[in-house]
Amino acid sequence: MSAVSLRALLRGGGVARLWRDPRYASLAVTVSLFVAMSVAGGVLYDGFLRPQVFLNLLIDNSFLLIVAVGMTFVILTGGIDLSVGAVIAFSTVLLASLVQHHGWHPLPAIGAVLVLGTGFGALMGVLIERYRLQPFVVTLAGMFLARGAATLVSVDSIGIDHAFHVAVASLRIPLGGRTSISAGALIALLVVAVGALLAAKTRFGRTVYAIGGNVQSAHLMGLPVERTLVQVYALSGFCSALAGVVYTFYMLSGYSLHATGLELDAIAAVVIGGTLLAGGSGYVLGTVFGVLVLGLIQTLIAFDGTLSSWWTRIAIGVLLLAFCLLQRLLARTGPAGGGGHG
């Protein structure tokens, strides 16, 4: 969200207007839900409100947060990317194979993985833009292609024991008070900061919102619609590959079945974070809270200790449906277009 627009909104009518404005109400609901769940966890379970518990939300969901930032830009244009989970798997197994079986140092291997992921996303963007194909169909094909390519690299899981990789994976940056954060979480926060800056302060971000609002109007305004669409899917491919790299720090392995179904979690996080599935309105900040809400559900279930992990899926499904209905309701109460930025 743009800090300038939020300050202007608050000056114009206070917090109450924040709830009435359709562009901000969904985000406000997400933040309120996160706060309410945190308070409920603190009341029900001892130690739930410890700072490290919330830092662990970032640590355990860093790869999801990275890929969700890329998905935010895709959904803002009115598109979707179903290939992200498969690209993560391909990135992990390729990186592990290059390091363990071909003697590469992790740094050039990571560079190669990021280039391939970005190129794969750009290729899907070209197919979508030039041939007017549906993003659902193109990225579904990309999902099968990337997952199949990962299997061709290796059917089995490949452990990574290179000293550099293990050192980065085990790195913890102390924050004081017996709290710490991982390198993967720091990478995720950097991606969030860059994503928010791109959305709020660049021509690329303004064009993304314009495409999602009305692609014909964006053309008439002389905006680079075709180029931006390709760049959006390239960005999603880059974020997926980077999430794969962070995933290897988290798991210290590469496997063709890693991140199965993660694309659905990413879409759920973006929608719960307040981004309209139709495009044109949403916030990178909202996506952050969407990911944190999903992580908090898992944490609550873990603290309870008696519930099956499948309750996580049930809760996410209910939340996703509720937020889709909320978006429809807000769309009827006022203009949701114009997009929020950041």
325 domain-assigned: yes
Is residue 337 within 8 Å of 22, Cβ to Cβ?
Answer: no
pLDDT-derived band at 11, boundaries 50, 70, 90:
low
Rounded CA separation 93/216 (Å): 41
Residue 337 pLDDT > 90? no
The pLDDT, as a whole number, for residue 13 is 53
174 domain-assigned: yes
User: What percentage of residues in the chain have a pLDDT greater than 90?
Assistant: 82
The pLDDT of 232-238, averaged and rounded, is: 98
4 domain-assigned: no
Residue 22 pLDDT > 70? no
The pLDDT, as a whole number, for residue 192 is 98
306 domain-assigned: yes
67 domain-assigned: yes
The pLDDT, as a whole number, for residue 23 is 64
11-15, 132-136, 273-277: lowest mean pLDDT where? 11-15
Q: Indicate the number of domains in the chain.
A: 1
18-25 own/partner pairs: CB under 8 Å, 24+ apart:
20/334, 21/334, 22/330, 22/331, 22/333, 22/334, 22/335, 22/336, 23/281, 23/336, 23/338, 23/339, 23/340, 24/340, 25/326, 25/330
Give tens-digit pLDDT for 84-120.
Answer: 999 999 999 999 999 999 999 999 999 999 999 999 9
The pLDDT, as a whole number, for residue 44 is 94
The pLDDT, as a whole number, for residue 17 is 54
Rounded CA separation 272/37 (Å): 14
pTM listed for this prediction: 0.92
The pLDDT, as a whole number, for residue 264 is 95
The pLDDT, as a whole number, for residue 20 is 60
CATH, residue 73: 1.10.3470
Rounded CA separation 203/214 (Å): 16
pLDDT-derived band at 332, boundaries 50, 70, 90:
confident
Residue 12 pLDDT > 60? no
Residue 18 pLDDT > 70? no
The pLDDT of 241-246, averaged and rounded, is: 98
pLDDT-derived band at 4, boundaries 50, 70, 90:
very low
* Residue scoring higher pLDDT (337 or 33): 33
The pLDDT, as a whole number, for residue 203 is 96
289 domain-assigned: yes
The pLDDT of 225-232, averaged and rounded, is: 97
Give tens-digit pLDDT for 67-94.
Answer: 999 999 999 999 999 999 999 999 999 9
The pLDDT, as a whole number, for residue 117 is 98
- The residue segments making up the domain with residue 320 are 21-333
The pLDDT of 13-25, averaged and rounded, is: 61
8 domain-assigned: no
Is residue 242 within 8 Å of 84, Cβ to Cβ?
Answer: no
Residue 321 pLDDT > 90? yes
